[in-house]
Chain A
């Protein structure tokens, strides 16, 4: 079955760190662009970061310098290392696939999300 499964979400104190994982099955993750998208409680969707198939990365200004996206092809997994977490990072974090047939495009496959709560 083609799917993305996120894990690693937890309750963490402000200033703490977490690493989220996004494991793909049924397809080779490295041939696609993979983004992290988050949704704060009761709010809309916010794009966080992308890992391009060629290895490049990009971040939203709100997380630049604190979050790092990476990929392990042997595990068919993309990671999001989240450091110096803030209360406003509290959200459900989704990973999503962009098949990138025409460069950056739409997200045709989403995981179910993993919840991150930043609170003292």
Chain B
């Protein structure tokens, strides 16, 4: 299953909203998860099963979608949200990741 993320890069101010999309090449139900990775750090789970919140993750992060189209939204992003974001599908093996979206906060 191929996951196609867009855009590759997004630059926003703290007053704007970050929207990242992830499209699956086939129906994966809600088996789609989002991670944040900062330079020289391991990925960190942000959202699981498309829209379920993860303990300790700020509420400005949210996800939605099912089937083939998914979205990660960051409302009122903060400077610390500058990172690369990846989607990941667990519907079937081989597990796959999207190509990543680098987010810059101006």
Is there an interface contact between B45 and A50, defined as CB atoms closer than 8 Å?
no
Interface residue from B35, B42, B90, B92 paired with A113 (Cβ < 8 Å): B42
Among B42, B48, B95, contact of A35 (Cβ-Cβ < 8 Å):
B95
Q: Within B53-106, which residues are at the interface with A (CB < 8 Å)?
A: 54, 84, 86, 88, 90-100
Contact present for A45 and B97 (CB under 8 Å)? yes
Verify B49–A60 contact, CB threshold 8 A.
no
- Closest A residue to B30 by beta carbon equals A102
Give the residues in chain B near A107, CB-CB below 8 Å: 33, 35, 43, 45, 88
Residue of A nearest to B93 (CB): A58
Taking the closest CB of chain B, its distance from the CB of A97, in whole angstroms, is: 10
Query: B19 interface residue, CB < 8 Å from A?
Result: no
B31 within 8 A of A: yes
> How far does the alpha carbon of A102 sit from the alpha carbon of B43 in the complex, in Å?
21
Do residues B42 and A47 form an inter-chain contact, with CB atoms below 8 A?
no
Closest to A98 in B: B90
Q: A interface vs B, CB < 8 Å?
A: 35, 37, 44-47, 50, 58-61, 94, 96, 98, 102-108, 110-113
17 A-B pairs with CB atoms under 8 Å apart are A44-B84, A46-B97, A47-B94, A47-B95, A47-B97, A59-B94, A94-B43, A98-B90, A102-B49, A105-B31, A105-B33, A105-B48, A105-B49, A107-B45, A108-B45, A112-B42, A113-B42
New A-B pairs, 11, CB < 8 Å, besides A45-B35, A106-B90, A108-B48: A44-B84, A44-B99, A45-B37, A47-B94, A59-B94, A105-B33, A105-B48, A106-B33, A106-B48, A106-B49, A106-B88
Q: Which residues of B contact A (CB under 8 A)?
A: 31, 33, 35, 37, 42-45, 48-49, 54, 84, 86, 88, 90-100
